[in-house]
Structure 1
Amino acid sequence: MTGSSGGDGTARAVPFYCPFCGEEDLRPHEASHGAWGCGSCRRVFTLKLVGIEVSA
């Protein structure tokens, strides 16, 4: 995933396909920061990085 840095050090994760229908017709959505809208199934979703797992 790639992203563009916002002024506050956060980056927007860019999805390659819709997690619901698998189509690639995605556009940023105004609902909230990080929201994406699918033009095919009309769902709006967000992505969030939880963290990186470190094996012990």
Structure 2
Amino acid sequence: MSESPRASVIYYCPFCAEEDLRPVEEPQGAWRCNACARVFTVQMAALDTSRIPGRVREEEELQSRRQS
């Protein structure tokens, strides 16, 4: 995962769902919605890999091998 705050583009305002967004200088990594005039940032808190289908299948296979 990239550490850059501009690594992902935000497509919709989380407040009004409009698409007219522009990046702003401050705070770093923030976006301004031109429809509702809100300035916001979006950060990912965590990635729960336990529910990714391929990962669940992989874990089950590893557990069955350990039990054998």
Same fold (TM over 0.5): yes
Give the match for residue 48 of structure 2.
53
Q: Deviations over 1:2-55 (max 9, x none)?
A: xxxxxxx52223111101111100000122111000001000000101121132
Q: How many residues align?
A: 48
**Structure with the greater relative contact order (CA < 8 A, sep ≥ 6): 1 or 2?**
1
Normalised by the size of structure 2, how large is the TM-score? 0.61
> TM-score when scaled to structure 1?
0.72
**Identity within the alignment, %:** 50
Structure 1 residue ranges, 4+ long, deviating more than 3 angstroms after superposition: none
Structure 1 unaligned residues grouped into runs of 5+? 1-8
Root mean square deviation of aligned Cα: 1.6
Structure 1 or 2, whichever has the larger Rg, is 2
Which one has the bigger helix percentage?
2
